[in-house]
A and B are shown apart, each in its own frame.
Chain A
Amino acid sequence: MSAARTVRRRNVIPGFGISLGFTIAYLSLIILIPLGGLLVTSAGLGWSELYRIATDLRTVNAIWLSVWTALIAAVINVPFGVLIAWVMVRYRFPGRRFLDAAVDLPFALPTAVAGIALTALYAPNGWVGAWLDKVGIKAAYTPLGIVIALTFIGLPFVVRTVQPLLEDVDKEVEEAAATLGASRFHTVRRVILPAILPAVITGFALAFARAIGEYGSVVFIAGNIPYVSEIAPLLIIIRLEEYNYAGATTVAALMLMISFALLIFINSVQAWTRRRYGNG
């Protein structure tokens, strides 16, 4: 025993084989095999069938709707997310901690609950919807409602990605800029914004990626009219209910391709940030 201890100099910690083995087995069973099954199923349809379903007008409309509403929601979340992160990091005011914790509400609140709450709120007889109705804006049961739900879902991604970087911005650099005669506006634009830009891009991409696949919070408020307000995840469910597995699988495969492209984009932004800013 003591002899073994002195020999174990370089690799003293036990359990590598069993922990890595279990990790890979579990990962394969829960994630890789099921996802691989989806890709195999879609590949098994053949190119012409895949192409036919992927270019079907209802498929195209659903995916395009999911993409553009997610994009607008993410764009809205950038200024408001940065503003909220800024206010939380830089200012002290009563209720700050409460609001800071509340930012994570969309993470914690089940999407179906968010969905029915937002629908009731923005319906023509709802608290906000009634006001919008007076000025002739229809929110619930239109693509605008989808954008509202996706904005709700995406907000914490931007705030929580920007916040730590904003905390790390060196006050001395700001002071140096001010000493050198830069106005506050200039300092914010030339010193602070470039420092948090990678986090803003990452937060935007995370919010966008989450919103494309979002289902629960959207499906109640969307209206779900084919070609108009039917999102891609809903189309998958409709195809499944029709026992149209080829249709469901193709839409899913297209969405997965978009998600993976975004994932690669997010990883490259983060790798670029690390190279440029050290351990940012």
Chain B
Amino acid sequence: MAEALKGRNPVTEGPLTRAALIGLAIVFLLLFLIVPLVLVFAEALRNGVGAYFEALAEPDALSAMRLTITVAVIAVPLNVVFGLAASWAIAKFSFRGKNLLLSLIDLPFSVSPVISGLVWVLLFGSHAALGRWLAENDIQILFAVPGLVLATTFVTFPFVARELIPLMQEQGTTDEEAALSLGASGWQTFWHVTLPNVRWALAYGVLLCTARAIGEFGAVSVVSGHIRGQTNTMPLHVEILYNEYSFVGAFAVASVLALLALVTLGVKAVLEWRYGNQLASSHRH
């Protein structure tokens, strides 16, 4: 094959090789990514549109949607505040142990989701001292919203910080120094200089953080207790319906999650193309 290519344009492949490589890549992506996605919608609509919306309007499905939104609405802002604080400290100042801090922030990515849930059970479970104390004082953490929030926060912990830190490091401190020297206060500088500078990276981080918070399965599965209509988030509700062979119901709820994933990908692509120069360099196209 190499011989055949000699004498043609030396820095690209022949049209046949090119077509074969593109074809192979497309077939792999279609088979591995697109077909499973199409299947979700096909299975959800198997018994028609009526059955589909009936499955979605079911009280347990609605309560799962409400719970998922509740958890995300608490966990994401927590990680946004953390991301802003961490990126401010890391990007605007130099101090010892910065690299260790950066590695620790990324730590949750290396931990299995199931372990991210398990750690909370070990802390707050009824076998632990803290868990017994909580039970005596009627404070419910596990098998309730607080546990779901904690597990979700753990899993989505790095998403906002890791978008902001590299960008703010690239941007340096000159804008802030200018604002401060013109008499702005620290908060004014942050609100009117730093935040606008990183707004698209923040949006990007919030997008990925929210997508993961909504879709998290392993970690919340451990802390949820699977109480139908009460502690089941959407992904957990998908699991219950699927295991009960209620396939249309399972795929109907799954299709809502899949739609959200598609919206996430769409917005992500728009952010990368439109505001790529205002994102961390690894997302620029």
A interface residues, Cβ below 8 angstroms from B: 1, 5, 8, 12-16, 18-20, 22-24, 26-27, 30-35, 37-38, 41, 80, 83-84, 86-88, 90-91, 93, 95, 97, 99-114, 116-118, 120-121, 127-128, 151-152, 155, 164, 171, 174-175, 178-179, 183-187, 209-210, 212-216, 220, 232-234, 236-237, 240, 243, 245, 248-249, 252, 255-256, 259-260, 262-263, 267
Contacts and interface: CB of A to CB of B under 8 A. Distances in A.
25 contacts: A13-B176, A13-B177, A20-B89, A22-B81, A34-B122, A38-B115, A102-B265, A110-B215, A113-B258, A121-B35, A174-B11, A183-B5, A184-B6, A212-B112, A213-B114, A215-B114, A234-B114, A243-B127, A245-B122, A248-B118, A259-B110, A259-B111, A260-B110, A262-B110, A267-B103
Given A27-B105, A216-B113, A236-B115, A12 B29 contact: no
Given A34-B119, A37-B122, A216-B221, 15 more contacts: A1-B183, A15-B88, A26-B85, A32-B104, A34-B123, A93-B22, A109-B215, A109-B257, A109-B258, A109-B261, A114-B36, A152-B36, A214-B113, A215-B221, A252-B118
B261 A83 contact: no
Nearest to A22: B85
A117 B254 contact: yes
A13 B183 CA distance: 12
B222 A237 contact: yes
Contact of B32 (A27, A152, A236): A152
> Lowest 9 A-B CB distances belong to which pairs?
A213-B112, A110-B215, A178-B10, A185-B2, A216-B217, A34-B119, A215-B218, A14-B186, A233-B114
Interface in B111-156: 111-115, 118-123, 125, 127, 150, 153-154
Given A213-B113, A213-B115, A116 B242 contact: yes
Nearest to A98: B269
B110 A263 contact: yes
A99 to B, nearest CB: 5
A110 B220 CA distance: 12
A35 B111 contact: yes
A104 B258 CA distance: 13
A203 to B, nearest CB: 13
Contact of A164 (B150, B264, B282): B282
A34 B154 contact: yes
Interface in B181-204: 181, 183, 186, 189-190
Given A26-B82, A117-B40, A233-B112, A16 B118 contact: no
A82 to B, nearest CB: 10
Interface in B1-60: 1-3, 5-6, 10-13, 18, 21-22, 24-26, 28-29, 31-37, 39-40, 43
Given A41-B122, A106-B33, A113 B261 contact: yes
Contacts of A84: 25, 28-29
Interface of A is mostly: helix
A117 B215 contact: no
A255 B186 CA distance: 44
B65 interface: no
Nearest to A83: B25
Interface string B190-233: 10000000000000000010010011111001100000000000
B86 interface: yes
A27 B104 contact: yes
A20 to B, nearest CB: 4
B250 interface: yes
B40 A113 contact: yes
A107 B110 CA distance: 15
A17 to B, nearest CB: 9
Contacts of A111: 113, 215, 217-218, 235
Q: B110, B183, B250: which has the most chain A beta carbons within 10 Å?
A: B110
A214 B24 contact: no
Nearest to B235: A112
A103 B285 CA distance: 15
A116 B254 contact: yes
Contact of A184 (B2, B257, B258): B2
A266 to B, nearest CB: 9
B92 interface: yes
Contacts of A103: 29, 33
Contacts of A267: 103
Nearest to A184: B5
A113 B114 contact: no
Q: B33, B118, B127, B282: which has the most chain A beta carbons within 10 Å?
A: B118
